[in-house]
Amino acid sequence: MTSSNRILFIIDFDGTIAPIDTVDALLERFADPEWREIEERWVRGEINSEQCMAAQIALVRGERPELEEFLHSVQIDPSFAGFVRYVTPFAELAVVSDGLDDPIHHALRQLDVPIRICANRLDFRPGGLRISFPHGDSACAVLSGVCKCAIARSIDAGRGLTTVLIGDGRSDLCLARRADFVFAKGSLRRFCEDEHILHVPFEVLGDVLTIVRGWNATDYDRSPGEAACHLAPD
């Protein structure tokens, strides 16, 4: 199979692989209620994602053992392991999140399959947490801490991979316009509907796996988007 026939899956974590939003759950449990005001400023476009996350994580109070116990309790969609096993022979896969890397690494380690993970870096400090943004891009169209468009371009590296986005939220909006195929839920689904971006709605990753199983992974004369008549426009 040539590289141009291979697929690149870019998969969101919070709300997609994990049923809950890990960051919101963390803030609900350990942060000063001021985090909600910061969230509203971000929603109104007064601050960008990096500024929002940095300010909110700075409000988290707790010692490492209790914070780590909470972060490492995050559960993932039970269909994800089967999805990874099925697509690995014919696709590349990256979990790309504007959330926190520590709970993602811990949650996916149990799969015992190497998976590329790109997320904001979380560090523990006395009495709280610290966040940094190794995957930020000043040119990011949606001003995310993790620019999913830039990461998709970097992984593709000019190989012409068929990019498939699976996501649910605001950090997915820019890539939704550029991906070859989009699986959408939550606010990403509403965005795709409003912007007339062709997509496939889903609720759980088992829905996605069912559709992907219908793609012919051994014959890519057509892209999976063309085969399913849901090719997202560039």
Considering only CA atoms, which of 222, 220, 199 is closest in space to residue 211? Answer: 199
Q: What is the pLDDT of residue 198?
A: 95
CA distances from 74 to 18, 47, 71, 85, 111 (A): 7, 28, 6, 21, 14
Give the model confidence (pLDDT) of 15-26 as tens digits: 999 999 999 999
Distance between CA atoms of 83 and 229, rounded to whole angstroms?
Answer: 22
Q: What structural domains does the chain harbor?
A: 3-18+77-124+132-228 (3.40.50.1000), 24-71 (no CATH)
Give the model confidence (pLDDT) of 74-118 as tens digits: 999 999 999 999 999 999 999 999 999 999 999 999 888 889 999
Q: Going by C-beta distance under 8 Å and a sequence separation of 6 or more, which residues neighbour residue 73?
A: none
Please report which confidence band the pLDDT of residue 188 belongs to, taking 50, 70 and 90 as the band edges: very high
pTM of the model: 0.89
